[in-house]
Structure 1
Amino acid sequence: MAMVIESEIWQPPPWLYTFLVICCGGAIYGRFHVIHKRSRTVPQNLEPSSNSFMYLPLPFLSFQRSFLCIYFLASEALQAVYGESLYQQYGIGREDMALLFAFGYFVSLLVGTFLGIASDFLGRKKACIVFCILHLIGCLARLFNKYHSLLMGTSSISLASSLFSCTFETWMTTEHDKLGFRQDWLSDTFWTMSFGAAASSLGSAALANTLVNWKGPHGMALPSAAAAVVAFVCAILITKGWGENTATSKIKTRKIVSSLAYLMADKRILLLAWVQTCFDFAVTAFWFLWTPTIVADGREVHISMIYPCLMGSIMIGSVAASWLLCGPYFCRPELYLTAVFVTASFSLAIPAYDYQEIGLLVALFCLFNVCVGIISPSLARLRSIYVPNDLRASMMSLSRVPANAVIVFVLIKGGYYHNLDNSTVFTFCVIGLLTGAGCLHLLKRWSCVANGNLDIRCNRIFSLMSKLKGHQYGHWNLRLSIQMKEGVYFSSKDSRGIMVVELQSVNWKSSLVKM
């Protein structure tokens, strides 16, 4: 393939930033406008599911905002913005950097997995505080130009990342249940977490650039110092504002091995865990490879101008997920996630063939991050359906084990020995995402099979629906949608109105919604 090397510095066109902002703002405004418009057509004596997202109660909003405030602070990426530049300033070569990162992921593989499992039994609040302490230690250790100090800093940050990926979400979902809030309101928190984390990363990049520009080349360590301050503030806020929650006594009295065996015995949880593994590996590999892929063959590119496009793409994907998870177009995650995984694999398939046109690469990388923004909250919603809160952190920690193992292999073979091309790693990502799509397809088929008890309940509800026909509700399209707490769904259509019925174990409630 003929290779054309750009002679001038490439950067995204200015209109792209305006387009991303308009897409995010327009999608958020459009969602609330459509939900509000629909809510006005619903009888006042009924409790529609779409109204549940238009008029969220103040206690839930207070809980959500207090959690998200700390979560967004914890998701900052100040220490990562100039991490590689800081190592280069310390005189560390790319091969040694690869070994540092590989050691960090190896420590996370061995120790981080057990920290996540232990959080389910010792307390999620304690685990979140441990995350802040590890993050604080890692950031402070990077301030010293000593190899053993950098090794300790990389290991601490890797362990902190492992805890962050499971403990915050698990604490929130468990506390959500303890406070008695509706299960479907979790979706509103999940998409906001994904959206806000991307916005936090953008703010971290802006603050890091400001600090470095303030001190010049000698200010490369300032972002790490600022991240240490943020971690300290997070630890104080968690200590003062959060309550502790652990596994229930029924689970806590079992041995950890028995609890893990419970997870392994459910084929739906195993499928979901493998989907999470494939997704985690693809995202981690992407953030290691996107810069080397774009600047290949010595091309000059404004990397700092592309990063906001990638974060903005994640935000757009998160808003798109809110339309599907929280209305106005309610949809089971299994129904659309298969297509999203296939789209994500397509966006990395062209870089896997070593395609080198910068504009198309940036467009494909933005498409991949749109998919990431959709997948993250959707998988979190699926975990709420299939995985018990008592073992949620354990499942998430175990799902990271294969991903971390492959990342260590890639960093050593590709980063240190240079025996693995970037295109080959992208091929691994494509294969993983396609297998994840296959697992989601199986999960969708299994979840759509109704058991005998559900059939009996459906017959009873159909009898109720027949009594409602022809009365004061007019000529509506009637659809029955049933969601079991353990993740079994059933739907049926008729010609007069729409009824949404949510079953929680043996208890259920119904509402009429005009489409």
Structure 2
Amino acid sequence: MELFYYMMFGGLAAVVAALELSKSNKDRINTSSAFNSFKNNYLLVYSLMMAGDWLQGPYVYYLYSTYGFGKGEIGQLFIAGFGSSMLFGTIVGSLADKQGRKRACVTYCITYILSCITKHSPQYRVLMVGRILGGIATSLLFSAFESWLVAEHFKRGFDQQWLSLTFSKAIFLGNGLVAIISGLFGNLLVDSLNLGPVSPFDAAAVFLAIGMAIILSSWSENYGDPSENKDLLTQFKGAAVAIASDEKIALLGAIQSLFEGSMYTFVFLWTPALSPNDEEIPHGFIFATFMLASMLGSSIAARLLARNTVKVESYMQIVFVISSASLLLPILTNFLVTPSKVKGGGISFSGCLQVLGFCVFEACVGIFWPSIMKMRSQYIPEEARSTIMNFFRIPLNIFVCIVLYNVNAFPITVMFGMCSIFLFVASILQRRLLVIGEKPKTEEWTMLKEKNAEDESLDVA
């Protein structure tokens, strides 16, 4: 492995460690031993579930390419995954509430294990079935586990404040540490032990099976409130009314779709961007480096969110502009650096520059997640939160599917340019959100009360 990768990984690791060690410990929460046992059990299961997901990420595109599929065919496989997630993501929440959250979590494990098994086949149809199963599993991962945790937390009578502690540790472990370890472990299996690009999927299936065994043996079942189980049409009508009547919610949804759409497109593009001539690159190690950059962004976001003088809407404008500029690097290097036409070999100089830019983008992703959660908590009404969030994912998945469907029609530089434009538009919308978000809420409440009074008077008449 080239020295460049070690320098990038080591430098980011040092910065992240310095930021984490310099944080104050004054915000610790005193909890009970029963809660600690419950929390640790959930964190163990969640970490295993995320390991099963993260192990696959860096090698999906690479595996398909080793089977001889081109960029267009691989794009169609990715479309199947996002399309499946879009279709099933709108209903898995209500199904989990009715059939049981524990059962839904077990279904996630079984579905994802089956998806991993399909990776052993080079047949396009089998791989397509695997992508559909993976899309269903992804929908369950981001709905069933959280639903089970929240319901079980309150069923056991734990303090509401302790729930945030579980969430924060789950994000740190599952989306940070586990992602990095998974990337390094996948790199060990594929490059060091030469077990082939399908080996990370086999390892993922093992971790998922272990997690499923823990769920079956230690989790109790819980269900949603039947009185809140509205049909999908009613839920979407309510979400549409809320979005149409509040510009802040509409802006937030557009910002989220633009950023996440660019992010998911980047997930597809970074592998061919760094190896245009089939250069030998350590996919798992690069992925782990990206995750370190994302952790760096999360650490920066934690410090920004802790300051009452800094508004989320304000600094996110800068984040979107920086992320937009970072995805312009593949375009700039294509014009400024003479592209190599030699097949194979190590990463090129332009590839090294792109890795730096991609790390900056991943740092922006790390800032984005906690910041968008903060803004969602401010602007999206609690009674319609999950419905509106699912509503936002429909244009997001449609956008990604359209991009991937046309990926073979445009050069990679054009795709990166499009993502850069979308991110810049997100910064403009963020500016608008900042302006209208500063309006006093008392004015909104006054207008709402006046409208309700008018409706009541009409009813009386």
Instruction: Give the superposition deviation at 1:211.
Output: 3.3
- Whether the 8 Å contact between 2:260 and 2:396 is mirrored in structure 1 is yes
- Whether the 8 Å contact between 2:317 and 2:430 is mirrored in structure 1 is yes
Q: Distance in 1 between matches of 2:149 and 2:323?
A: 28
Which of 244, 251, 261 is residue 237 of structure 2 equivalent to? Answer: 261
Structure 1 residues 139, 301: CA separation in 2 closer, same or farther (over 3 Å shift)? closer
- Whether the 8 Å contact between 1:277 and 1:399 is mirrored in structure 2 is yes
Partner SS state of residue 189, structure 1? helix
Which of 440, 443, 461 is residue 450 of structure 1 equivalent to? Answer: 440
Instruction: Give the superposition deviation at 1:56.
Output: 4.2
Give per-residue Cα distances to partners, 1:423-451, cap 9 Å, x unaligned: 22222222322333344344444444334
**Which position in structure 1 is the counterpart of 2:423?**
433
Structure 1 residues 183, 454: CA separation in 2 closer, same or farther (over 3 Å shift)? farther
The Cα RMSD (Å) is: 3.5
Which of 390, 402, 406 is residue 399 of structure 2 equivalent to? Answer: 406
- Whether the 8 Å contact between 2:118 and 2:126 is mirrored in structure 1 is yes
Q: Distance in 1 between matches of 2:44 and 2:99?
A: 24
- Whether the 8 Å contact between 1:106 and 1:404 is mirrored in structure 2 is yes
Q: Distance in 2 between matches of 1:25 and 1:158?
A: 34
2:255 paired with 1:275 = yes
Which letter does structure 2 place at the counterpart of 1:361? Q
Q: Distance in 2 between matches of 1:127 and 1:104?
A: 19
Q: Distance in 1 between matches of 2:403 and 2:434?
A: 32
Q: Distance in 2 between matches of 1:421 and 1:362?
A: 19
Instruction: Give the superposition deviation at 1:314.
Output: 0.7
2:312 paired with 1:336 = no
Q: Distance in 1 between matches of 2:252 and 2:148?
A: 20
Structure 1 residues 300, 444: CA separation in 2 closer, same or farther (over 3 Å shift)? same
Instruction: Give the superposition deviation at 1:455.
Output: 10
Structure with higher strand content:
1
Q: Distance in 2 between matches of 1:437 and 1:413?
A: 25
Q: Distance in 2 between matches of 1:334 and 1:102?
A: 32
Q: Distance in 2 between matches of 1:352 and 1:172?
A: 44
Matches within 5 A, 1:321-360: 321-325=301-305, 327=306, 333-353=312-332, 354=334, 357-360=350-353
- Whether the 8 Å contact between 1:12 and 1:306 is mirrored in structure 2 is no
Number of residues paired by the alignment? 424
Q: Distance in 2 between matches of 1:384 and 1:240?
A: 35
Structure 1 residues 177, 27: CA separation in 2 closer, same or farther (over 3 Å shift)? farther
2:46 paired with 1:71 = yes
Which letter does structure 1 place at the counterpart of 2:49? A
Q: Distance in 2 between matches of 1:102 and 1:210?
A: 29
Which letter does structure 2 place at the counterpart of 1:23? V
Which letter does structure 2 place at the counterpart of 1:17? F
Which letter does structure 1 place at the counterpart of 2:415? V
Matches within 5 A, 1:41-52: none
Partner SS state of residue 22, structure 2? helix
Structure 1 residues 196, 328: CA separation in 2 closer, same or farther (over 3 Å shift)? farther
Instruction: Give the superposition deviation at 1:368.
Output: 0.7
- Whether the 8 Å contact between 1:187 and 1:381 is mirrored in structure 2 is no
- Whether the 8 Å contact between 2:98 and 2:226 is mirrored in structure 1 is no
Instruction: Give the superposition deviation at 1:273.
Output: 2.5
2:412 paired with 1:422 = yes
Q: Distance in 2 between matches of 1:259 and 1:175?
A: 24
Structure 1 residues 389, 74: CA separation in 2 closer, same or farther (over 3 Å shift)? farther
Give per-residue Cα distances to partners, 1:353-381, cap 9 Å, x unaligned: 54553343222111111111111122233
**Which position in structure 1 is the counterpart of 2:208?**
231
Answer with 165-174 or 266-275: which moved more: 165-174
2:33 paired with 1:54 = no
2:14 paired with 1:22 = yes
* 5+ long unaligned stretches in structure 1: 1-8, 37-52, 457-515
Answer with 275-284 or 77-86: which moved more: 77-86
- Whether the 8 Å contact between 2:181 and 2:288 is mirrored in structure 1 is no
Instruction: Give the superposition deviation at 1:93.
Output: 4.3
TM-score by length of 1: 0.71
Runs of 4+ in structure 1 over 6 Å off: 453-456
Which letter does structure 2 place at the counterpart of 1:284? Y
Matches within 5 A, 1:104-503: 104-116=81-93, 118-119=95-96, 123-172=100-149, 179=157, 181-182=159-160, 186=164, 189-190=167-168, 193=171, 196-212=174-190, 216=194, 219-242=196-219, 247-248=224-225, 251-252=228-229, 254-266=230-242, 267=246, 268-296=248-276, 303-325=283-305, 327=306, 333-353=312-332, 354=334, 357-387=350-380, 391-414=384-407, 418-452=408-442
Structure 1 residues 239, 161: CA separation in 2 closer, same or farther (over 3 Å shift)? same
Structure 1 residues 145, 198: CA separation in 2 closer, same or farther (over 3 Å shift)? same
Higher Cα Rg, which structure = 1
Instruction: Give the superposition deviation at 1:88.
Output: 4.3
- Whether the 8 Å contact between 1:87 and 1:97 is mirrored in structure 2 is yes
Answer with 425-434 or 353-362: which moved more: 353-362
TM-score by length of 2: 0.78
- Whether the 8 Å contact between 2:236 and 2:391 is mirrored in structure 1 is no
Q: Distance in 2 between matches of 1:175 and 1:453?
A: 39
Give per-residue Cα distances to partners, 1:269-291, cap 9 Å, x unaligned: 33333222122211111111112
Which letter does structure 2 place at the counterpart of 1:206? L
Structure 1 residues 442, 116: CA separation in 2 closer, same or farther (over 3 Å shift)? farther
- Whether the 8 Å contact between 2:115 and 2:133 is mirrored in structure 1 is yes
- Whether the 8 Å contact between 1:170 and 1:393 is mirrored in structure 2 is no
Q: Distance in 1 between matches of 2:251 and 2:214?
A: 36
Structure 1 residues 344, 246: CA separation in 2 closer, same or farther (over 3 Å shift)? farther
Q: Distance in 1 between matches of 2:249 and 2:70?
A: 42
- Whether the 8 Å contact between 2:5 and 2:286 is mirrored in structure 1 is no
Structure 1 residues 213, 444: CA separation in 2 closer, same or farther (over 3 Å shift)? closer
Partner SS state of residue 440, structure 2? coil
- Whether the 8 Å contact between 1:11 and 1:305 is mirrored in structure 2 is no
Q: Distance in 2 between matches of 1:443 and 1:126?
A: 40
